[in-house]
Structure formats: C-alpha cells, structure tokens
Structure 1
Amino acid sequence: MPWATNDDDGVTIYYERDGDDDRASEAVVLVQGLGYGRWMWRWQREALRDEFGVIAPDNRGTGRSDVGISGLLRKLPKRIRSPLLTGRFSYTIDEMAADLEAVLDDAGIREAHVVGASMGGMIAQRYALEYTRAKSLTLCCTTHGGPDAVPMPAETRETLLETPDGSERERLRHRMRPAFNDRFTNRNPHLMDRIIEWRLEQDASEPAQEAQLGAASSFDVSDRLGRLRIPTLILHGTDDRIVPVENARLLQEKIPDSRMEIVDGGSHMFFLEDDDVVNDHLREFLLEDERVVQ
C-alpha cells in the first residue's frame, strides 16, 4: 500500500491507485472534501478506472494519512481545542497542496488531471497555481474563497455546528442533512446507512476536521485565478446548501480557459446523487482534445 511523505513537515499521506497500468505517467487524481474519506469518490472511481489511471489520496488527518497534530493538542477539551485548531494551529490549503505534490511525485505522475470537490476543489486550485503537474482542473461544488465568495447560509452553518444528543451515527446523520437532497435520502435509506458506516471508518477525526475547517475558512485565491492557463471544468448543483451555486459563476468569471456545467436540483453531494450526469461531463472533458491518452 503506497504512502508519500511531505518533506516540509514529515506528514505521511496514504493513497490508492486504480487502473491497469500502474506505471502510467498521467492520471486523474481525486481530492476529497472537508472531513470526508475516500468513499466520497466511489462512484467516480468506478466510472473512470477502466479508461484512466486514477489516484485517490487521503487528505492529511483523514483515513490512513497522518494527522499531523500533536497528541497534546488533540487531547485538549473541545472548547479549548477547537478555537486553536480552526485558528492558529489549523492546517493550511498550501500544506495540503504540498501533500498532493508528494503523492504525485511518489506515484511517478508527470501530468495530472486534478478533480476536487468542496475543500478538495480549494486544494486543486492552489495546486494548479503552485505546481507544474496539473494538466486540467475539474472543480466541483467549491469556491475561490475570499470576501467576494458567496458564504454558506446561516441556517446550514447552524446545522453543521449543532451537537444533538444521541449516538455518533445519529449525530453524523444530522450533520449530513444539508449536504444531500431530502428526496434522495428518503428514497435511499439503505445507502445512507452505508455512508454512515463508511464515514465512521474513513472520515477525519474531529480534531482533524477542525484543522481542515480552519484551512478552508482562510482560503483565498480570488486574485490569482487569472494566471491559470489550463482547461478547467466547473461543476455545481443548483440546490447546494453548503457552497451556493453562485460561487461556480464567480469561478468561471475568473478562470480564463473554463467552462461551467450546472446540474439542476443538484445538492452539495451532487457527484454522488447525480453520478451519471457528473461522470458523463467528466469523461467528456477528460477525453476532449485527447487530453488523456488511452
């Protein structure tokens, strides 16, 4: 099982690799959202693995990757720990972009088609601006950050921050509500149960989620996106209650070689709920102009 080490701070990042040719120097890399484990890309990995090489890393603090937070800090009571990890001692998107560079270097990837969702889209933007391996970008349900970005609705933030009584499974289910369409969750109770189990197994620990939240909250590349010179696909759902769809339009305005595809009725997890639509857009984009050599 492959691990890569970020030489800047020694954090070790776990990643998985799909596809027939493990020696390929070009691959699609899937970058996770805040707190979410590798399970979130399950539908895209299944759709892409037969045609493209796929790299799926765990963000720092997630799954099998190192947490990169001192044990003393992690053991503090939440009321003390949380302000520290979302503030002065948070991760940074720069660090996580460097983690991604370490993974691609370890995997021998010369050119990467970087696909990121939510916080993963922030990492993807930073990576494309700071490093040279990105051949294309796909940005799902994300934002460029900064004062011009459209913020999360207050009602959603309250739901995500609430700690209702009950089991860990019940708390996860409550906090997941804004990310999904109610109609989808009502029609797929067994899948939602499986997602809860995947989250318990693979998601970031609570301290790591706090550190990731701090990184996402301070992210801002709004004044740099005009420098990007790689093809970019922007995907977003109209009913995203976490990152409002207006952020997709702001991204398109700032990234020169970009196009936007809006999924009507799509939630924040639209790449799961509407996976056929998203995968069709993604495959078409990757194959366009022979960007991916098969």
Structure 2
Amino acid sequence: MKNFTMGPAILFCPADRSDRYAKALERADAVILDLEDAVAAENRAGARRMLIDNPLDPERTIVRINPVGTLDFAADVAAVQRTAYRTIMLAKTETLGDLATVADFNVVALCETALGIINAPQIAAARHVVGLMWGAEDLVASLGGSSSRQESGTYRDVARHARSQVLLAAGAFGKVAIDSVYINIPDHQGLLAESIDAQASGFGAKASIHPGQMAVIRKAFMPTPEQVDRAARLLAAAEDANGVFTFEGQMVDEPILRHARAILDRRAIPDDGQDQDSDRTSEDRPKGSPVHLN
C-alpha cells in the first residue's frame, strides 16, 4: 500500500474539460479528474479519451470513477489502466466486494451512501485503500432526504455522524480522511470555519469544487505564527521536564506534545496568496473554532 501524500487542498476537475487540467493542478495541491458526477453521461466516453490524451503528474492526480455495477465502471477502469495514474477515487464505495474489483489501484474510498458509512471501518481496513472521503449530498439523497445542511449552513445531525464515522474509521487504520466539499462557493468565511474544524478534528485534506477555495483551505490547514511559536516553546520546555508538567498554566502530557509536533509539521503547507480575504490570524479566527494549545 502506498501512503497518501496529496493535500491539503484537493480540487475536483471535470474529466471532459481537458482545457482545465493544467490550470487546476497549478492552483491545487492535488486534482481529482472526475469521470462521475461532473460529466454528463453522454460525454463520458469523450472524457475517458481526454483522460488518456492529456496526462498530469500521477503523484498529484486522483481519478474518480463511476460506482461498481454502473454502465461506465468497466470503461472507466480500462481507461485509467491506459494512463500512469494509480490512485483512483471509487464513487459510492459500499463493500469489500466493491474494493476487490479495483485491487490493482490505490483507492480513495468515497463513502456517500448509508451502507458505505456503516461499512467504513472494514473499508478503511482494506490494504489498497489509502484514504477515505465522505459525501454529504449523496448520503442524504440515499436516505430519501432533501438537504444535508440546516438553513444556518451547519450540517444536520445525520451528516455530522457520517463525517465522524468516516474520520474515526480512517484514523483507526492509519488512513487519511478527506473532508467533503463546501458547495456555497462565495462563502469563504463558512469554508474557512469548516476547514479549520476539519484540520483540528484530524482530517488530512479537504476536497473542493472551485479554484478560489484553494487558498482558504490552505490557510485553514496552516498554523498561525502564534501557534507555531507556542508549540516550539512548549516542546523546548518538554526537553527539561520529567513526565507531566505545567506550561503557561496548562497541564502538558504526551497527547498535548503530539498536538504541538503536528503544528510544527504543518508549517510547510504552501500558501498561494491568491485569496487575500482568507488571510487568518489568531485574532480573526471564526468564533467557536478550536485553537490548539491555547
């Protein structure tokens, strides 16, 4: 199994828009070339040809293929096999049987139905699964619902449960968890708050549907200078401590030290500087969003 190294800002790109491939990869940390929902059924054959004829960096590219059992599934797999891409996103992953059909690929399992969410732990345990992502709108549709979010923009309880289930399943088996897309494109503050929560909760990346969301997601996953400074000072203090100790009024044990190490590890996330409205400091962080080590 190959470790997943893509992220944190991952951008969907319709596979039938080869004119956007390179631009998408310029803006994002990784691209999902989408053969499923972003492409009309009558355009999928052409999209597969474009996928083959317009190669991107396979280390930064995922191909989303149609679900097992659909008319497009076998043709999608055959097309990907003609490329250098070896990481696929399997739409509507539900069972180990689904995963067995794509055993030759590194798989990001997209859990977006009730059965997929319930089976997330066994899906995460599969050796060729490198990550899990959840999908809110398809999940609610599979339940016969009409919307994953309240009028306030926050998720309904069923969506929050599914999000947590996928995150816990991925974490239990050492796989990356990818947070779902934020579909209100102009709402950068809402995206920022949700992305900060995703990072603080343990998601390794967040998927997105618009290039303008890239900088916002990166900002959310990048620690503030104040966080970096405090984490460095805390770890320095730990070198002279013996066991549990107190730092600036806070009890510090091994989990808190791991939080600090994670903050320093995230310093290398690039900032493309293309969205000035997304700039974040400890002062303008959305209300109620978690702050490590404060």
* Bin of the TM-score, shorter chain as denominator length: 0.3 to 0.5
TM-score (norm 1): 0.33
Greater length-normalized contact order (CA 8 Å, ≥ 6 residues apart): 1
